[in-house]
Amino acid sequence: MTPSTISSDKIAALRALLSEVPAASSYAPTSEALNRAKELDEKKIVEVLSHFLSMPQATMTLANPVLYNANVKCGDDDVTLAIRSYSVRGIIAEHEIVSGELSAPGLIFAGLFGRRAQTMEDGTREEDVLCAWIQREFEGALHSTEEDGLLVQVARFVHQYPGSGPELALQFFVAKRRAELSVKGVGDHGVNTDRAPNSLLDEMVSEHMHSVAVGCVSMYCNHELRRNAELTAEALVESARTFITGELAQGKTAFEVCYSCLLGRSATPVESNILERMGMIQMHHGSAGSNMVARFLASLHCNSVLEFFAACQTTLDSKRHFGAIHDMTELIRRLEKAPEDKHVDMIRQEVLTGGLPTFGHPHISAAGRGGTIQQDPRAAVYLSPVLDAIDNGDLQPTGKQVKRLALIQRIYRTALVEGIVKPGKEGSEPLRLTPNTDFGAWTVQEILGIHDNDRTFLTYVYRAFGWMMDAREQLQLKIIRPVIAADPSIVPKPDGVDIIPNVVTKLHNRLAAEAPAFGKQ
For 206-211, what is the mean pLDDT?
95
Q: In the chain, what is the straight-line distance between the N-terminal and C-terminal CA atoms, in Å?
A: 44
The model's pLDDT over 91-132, given as tens digits with 9 standing for 90+, comes to: 888 999 999 889 999 999 999 999 999 988 888 889 999 999
- pLDDT of residue 203 exceeding 90: yes
What pLDDT is recorded for position 141? 93
148 compared with 273, residue with greater pLDDT: 273
What pLDDT is recorded for position 286? 52
- pLDDT of residue 8 exceeding 80: no
pLDDT bucket at 287, cuts 50 / 70 / 90 = low
- pLDDT of residue 502 exceeding 90: yes
pLDDT bucket at 11, cuts 50 / 70 / 90 = confident
- Contact call for residues 141 and 210 (beta carbons, < 8 A): yes
pLDDT bucket at 416, cuts 50 / 70 / 90 = very high
pLDDT bucket at 292, cuts 50 / 70 / 90 = confident
The domains of the chain are located at 8-17+91-317+459-483, 26-59
- pLDDT of residue 184 exceeding 90: no
pLDDT bucket at 144, cuts 50 / 70 / 90 = low
How far is residue 86's CA from residue 75's CA, in Å, rounded to a whole number?
30
> How many residues appear in the chain?
521
How far is residue 193's CA from residue 299's CA, in Å, rounded to a whole number?
10
Which residues does residue 74 pair with via DSSP β-bridges, in sequence order? 77
How far is residue 91's CA from residue 114's CA, in Å, rounded to a whole number?
8
Question: With pLDDT > 90 as the criterion, what percentage of the chain qualifies?
Answer: 58
pLDDT bucket at 319, cuts 50 / 70 / 90 = low
Give the least confident one: 52-61, 68-77, 213-222, 254-263.
52-61
> DSSP class of residue 488?
G
What angle is formed at CA 317 by the lines to CA 314 and CA 318, rounded to 5 degrees?
85
- pLDDT of residue 229 exceeding 60: yes
Strand order in the sheet with 62-63: 62-63, 87-88, 92-93
pLDDT bucket at 463, cuts 50 / 70 / 90 = very high
| Highest-scoring range by mean pLDDT, 180-184, 381-385, 419-423 | 381-385
Closest to 322 (Cα-Cα) out of 282, 352, 351: 282
For 217-241, what is the mean pLDDT?
97
What pLDDT is recorded for position 299? 86
Closest to 138 (Cα-Cα) out of 191, 243, 233, 217: 217
- Contact call for residues 314 and 320 (beta carbons, < 8 A): no
What pLDDT is recorded for position 475? 83
pLDDT bucket at 4, cuts 50 / 70 / 90 = low
Q: Please list the helix, strand and coil fractions of the chain in percent, rounded to the nearest 5, in that order.
A: 60, 5, 35
What pLDDT is recorded for position 116? 93
Alpha helices in 19-149 (DSSP H): 29-39, 43-51, 94-98, 104-113, 126-142
What pLDDT is recorded for position 268? 97
The model's pLDDT over 233-258, given as tens digits with 9 standing for 90+, comes to: 999 999 999 999 999 999 999 999 99
How far is residue 510's CA from residue 230's CA, in Å, rounded to a whole number?
44
What pLDDT is recorded for position 3? 55
10 Å Cβ neighbour count for 509?
Answer: 12
What pLDDT is recorded for position 516? 95
- Tell me how far the alpha carbon of residue 491 is from its chain's centroid: 20
pLDDT bucket at 332, cuts 50 / 70 / 90 = very high
pLDDT bucket at 381, cuts 50 / 70 / 90 = very high
CATH code for the structural domain at 8-17+91-317+459-483: 1.10.580.10
| Highest-scoring range by mean pLDDT, 145-159, 163-177, 211-225 | 211-225
How far is residue 421's CA from residue 423's CA, in Å, rounded to a whole number?
6
Mean pLDDT, the chain, integer: 89
